[in-house]
Amino acid sequence: MSVDVRVPTVLRKHTDGERVVKAEGSTVAAVIEDLERVYPGLQGELRGDDGALRQFVNIYVNDEDIRYLNRLDTQINPGDELAILPAVAGGGGG
């Protein structure tokens, strides 16, 4: 099953500039592995050496943060949309 994956600007260097790409998988982890197969180097931007999501990467399935679901084991269903968003850190202002 194929799902749409929204890719942030900072990671589009791996997707030839595409903002939405297709990937296969029944879980978030499987989708990331499929993305790596098609777009080498992308998985390394998303996951650390231990396999966990990097600290400043947020992934949403249908607008739900996977941190509050089953993280990388979150199930993907036909018609779902996965969005990768870099975390934004704020400054102190003044």
What are the pLDDT tens digits along the chain (94 aa)? Answer: 789 999 999 999 999 999 999 999 999 999 999 999 999 999 999 999 999 999 899 999 999 999 999 999 999 998 999 999 988 765 555 5
**pLDDT computed for residue 87 by the predictor:** 82
Options 3.10.20.30, 3.40.309.10, 1.10.287.90, 2.60.40.790; CATH for 2-86 is: 3.10.20.30
Domain ranges, ordered by start, for the chain:
2-86
**pLDDT computed for residue 89 by the predictor:** 62
**pLDDT computed for residue 9 by the predictor:** 96
**Separation of alpha carbons 72 and 44, rounded Å:** 15
**pLDDT computed for residue 14 by the predictor:** 96
Q: CB-based contacts of 28: which residues, under 8 Å, 6+ apart?
A: 59, 61, 66, 71, 72, 73, 74, 76, 82
Retrieve residue 89's tokens: 């850190």
